[in-house]
Amino acid sequence: MKNVVIACGGTGGHLTPGIALAQSLEEKGCKAWLFISRKSVDSRLSSKYPKLNFVAMPGAPLIRTPIGLFLFLKGFISSYLQSKKFYKKVNADAMIGFGGFTSLGPAVAARLQKIPIFIHEANRAVGKAVRMIAKNSDRVYLPEGMLLEGLSSEVVKNVGYPLRKEFRRIPRERARKHLGIPNSDRLLVVLGGSQGAASLNKWVKKNLSDLAAEGIATLCITGMGKDSSGVVQLDGPADEIITSRFIAFTDEMNVLLSAADLVVSRAGAGAIAEIVRCRVPSILIPYPFAADNHQLHNARFLEVKGGGLVCKDEYLTEKLFKEVQEMMFNEELRAILRRNLFAMDGGDVGSRIVDDMKQLVTEREISLDTQGRNLAVYA
């Protein structure tokens, strides 16, 4: 297996595991080509990895309106045709998709050219694109304990979420020093996902004084274009000053999570994988309008595993402050959660996926070669 196309992009949750897999492929001597969307979120993140090969592809999400359907079909046909040409150009050995509209055209082109297809679903509710592609895939990668109706257990392999090589947990003291946050602070980090979360930003602003009064410093990632960045200093207990920060975006999420005592976060699969890797206790607020309610399924699984708590978006006002307060000052509970998170860490998922892909592609080549020799004998 020498050349692999990775169809990802459209959201950070699709693109970041694609980048992680590309890193693992390149590390093991395979050339990786990443098909991404033309959205700004993709171009911004891809610019951070100049050594990887990105190819911007046409495409649009499926929106059930006349214009939405037209744009989806136009993007699908264009991406199919471009993928078909690209596979021949680089002599692609395999294609893997991470779901979303960026995977459909490349998957159809790969199937018609008899190129092995792999598909990865990060969430605990399988998306429409993955369900469509899975029927013709050589391997379907699903989260722990999941199966997909209509697929043989031999096709499904349960793996986790590939994290980029640079995403590592670092010691709390070093993370705090890097961020300029005192070791003595009780730090709450609030994350709204790659696009931010208006309801979480609003909650932080409303409760900032009460959090400071409890001695809790807050660092809120507001999302690009959602709120301005800034620093707020308020009176804390015993006349101390509590410093809270608002920033739009960060490329150092592992540093933030490593520095945190507690995280309040949306429940995308990527956010949860990062929380697990950094072993930081969390309260997850599933986005209520996520497709197939996948964030609630993600969050509930972490809660059942003893890695965090769940608070629905509709209960932010009445419940979240009290839960933050109780967890922040319960050292024993947070220690238990950290131990459970350590046990949940899947390690180098990207490398395991690459090894599995290589094995399947090799077995397929041997099988085709054997069939060819047998046909030649009978001829």
For the stretch 37-65, pLDDT in tens is: 998 888 988 999 999 999 999 988 888 89
Q: What is the mean pLDDT of residues 283-306?
A: 94
E strands present in the chain: 3-7, 31-36, 53-56, 94-97, 117-120, 139-142, 156-158, 186-191, 216-221, 230-235, 241-247, 262-265, 282-284, 309-310
Residues 10, 42 contacting (CB under 8 angstroms): yes
d(CA 15, CA 105): 16
The conformation of residue 240, written as its DSSP 8-state character, comes to: P
pTM over 0.85, yes/no: yes
d(CA 311, CA 289): 15
d(CA 175, CA 159): 29
Residue 227: the pLDDT is: 64
Residue 379: the pLDDT is: 52
Give the bridge partners for 244, in sequence order: 232
Q: What is the mean pLDDT of residues 89-102?
A: 94
Q: Which of 22-36, 126-140, 227-241, 247-261 has the highest mean pLDDT?
A: 22-36
For the stretch 324-365, pLDDT in tens is: 999 999 999 999 999 999 999 999 999 999 999 999 999 888
Report whether pLDDT(376) > 80.
no
For the stretch 209-239, pLDDT in tens is: 999 999 999 999 987 665 667 899 999 998 8
Residues 236, 210 contacting (CB under 8 angstroms): no
Report whether pLDDT(171) > 60.
yes
Residue 137: the pLDDT is: 95
Domains and their CATH numbers in the chain = 3-160+347-378 (3.40.50.2000), 172-344 (3.40.50.2000)
d(CA 130, CA 140): 9
- Computed over every residue of the chain, the mean pLDDT equals 92
Q: Which string of DSSP letters, residue by residue, matches 287-353?
A: -TTSGGGHHHHHHHHHHHTTS-EE--GGGIIIIIHHHHHHHHT-HHHHHHHHHHHHHH----HHHHH
Give whole-number Cα distances, 377 to 236, 367, 368, in Å. Answer: 85, 16, 14
Report whether pLDDT(377) > 90.
no
